[in-house]
Chains A and B, each alone.
Chain A
């Protein structure tokens, strides 16, 4: 099985895989937005003093972190229709990835909120601020800055995990690669090609992450 360099000259392969990469990027980005938003809410619920809210958040994280993503996706795509709830492939993928990553992201936020020194809240209280105000103006801005690097990790992990959506008939990057391999038998060459697309996407993400880190360093004090 000699290494076949001519595969890398097939412009049509780049187009075909590139379309898959766009699907991967699109669903990962939207899901990440949902994950960050829900994750923040869950983290706040977890640090709340009302036990129902706290337990709700704990249960949510327990379920979504404790079961495989593949199972969650198949339940959303193929299980819910039996209850009369029907989402398209794209919607199922975004909901599944978004709800799943929210569980992980909420732990990131919880850790970064805990990282802020308790004395700051006490100081805020002395200044007459209530707990909500202290959270909004003092704790959250600082913890967001701490949360950015692990959030970047989470986003990159999501980009790669999203290949599971091929089990709900979304033809993303990795699935398109295996389709091409099945008919051309050029596995090493095509996997390298797929790896290049993943690297391009993660490079773009890493760039924006460092920009965001820099911005928060300068502007959020």
Chain B
């Protein structure tokens, strides 16, 4: 065999063996539980977030840092519990398996509470209440309420409570992996309406520069909360976070953070 060829194959072998060794030596060892909470990383509250959901958790395009309502709330909670706060960004479809695999301690409060999800995760007390509204193009005059959607094309992000809601009113539901795609397609005329949470809609309406508007008031009530693993170690953490949340509500910190992020939408 050609000499260079065999050294080449030998090189592959070397790299491979090196990787296997590196993997086995670097594979994390089980960490000793910290005195108070059993955290993924001692002294650090690690939070999983999709980070594509303004104003809750998203990336600031200028600073490249995660910002948002949930980030401020989490930082305040961390400070009060004496924990450092670290965010891990992960795509929505992998977020629950990663929580269960102890890749992070909790999921950021962008997850809506549903009976279905309650069977796989535990939720904190309600962090945020909102409701579904309809967004249409500004020149639209015949959609005012969800009942008007019959026979219309509705755009929603896939696997969300919005998708379930849309299916109640029309058969023409188009799903996208990102909410921002729904807004783009609506503006391009590939659909008639978007179902979205009021708190999220305002941000997009602002950016559309008058091309889109919100019709209908919220006709549902959605509740989002921090999500936890269903294990005994997480119960203590959940209780502590619930206690901190209610303290923040009573001393006004919660409202201060909320009003900073949520813009009221003119009906």
Contacts and interface: CB of A to CB of B under 8 A. Distances in A.
Contacts of A137: 1
Contact of A74 (B64, B97, B178, B207): B97
Contacts of B93: 70, 167
Given A37-B13, A167-B91, A181-B178, A78 B59 contact: no
Interface of A: 1, 12-13, 16, 30, 33-34, 36-38, 40, 70, 74, 77-82, 84-88, 91, 94-95, 136-137, 140-141, 144, 166-169, 171, 175, 178-185, 187-188, 219-220
B233 interface: no
A187 B181 contact: yes
B180 A169 contact: no
Given A1-B184, A37-B13, A166-B91, A185 B19 contact: no
Interface in B47-106: 48, 51-54, 58-62, 64, 88-91, 93-94, 97-98, 100-103
Interface string B246-261: 0000000000000000
B206 to A, nearest CB: 10
A19 to B, nearest CB: 9
Given A37-B12, A182-B51, A182-B54, A169 B98 contact: yes
28 contacts: A1-B184, A1-B188, A12-B62, A13-B61, A37-B12, A74-B94, A78-B94, A78-B103, A81-B102, A87-B27, A91-B23, A91-B26, A91-B27, A136-B1, A168-B98, A169-B103, A179-B51, A179-B58, A179-B59, A180-B59, A180-B61, A181-B180, A183-B59, A183-B60, A185-B204, A185-B207, A187-B184, A220-B2
Contact of A37 (B16, B30, B64): B16
Contacts of A181: 52, 178, 180
B264 interface: no
A166 B54 CA distance: 19
Interface residues of B, number: 49
A107 to B, nearest CB: 18
B15 A33 contact: yes
Contacts of B184: 1, 185, 187-188
Nearest to B179: A182
List 10 A-B pairs, minimum CB-CB distance, nearest first. Answer: A167-B94, A78-B97, A78-B101, A169-B90, A182-B52, A37-B12, A81-B101, A179-B59, A167-B91, A166-B91
Contacts of B88: 169
A183 B90 contact: no
B64 A171 contact: no
Nearest to B23: A91
A187 B186 CA distance: 13
Q: Residue among A38, A179, A183 with the most chain B CB within 10 A?
A: A183
B190 to A, nearest CB: 13
Interface string B163-195: 000000000000000111101100110000000
A78 B52 CA distance: 21
Contacts of A81: 101-103
A140 to B, nearest CB: 7
B211 interface: yes
A77 B204 CA distance: 34
Contacts of B64: 12, 16
Contacts of B54: 182-183
B28 interface: yes
A87 B178 CA distance: 29
Nearest to A94: B19
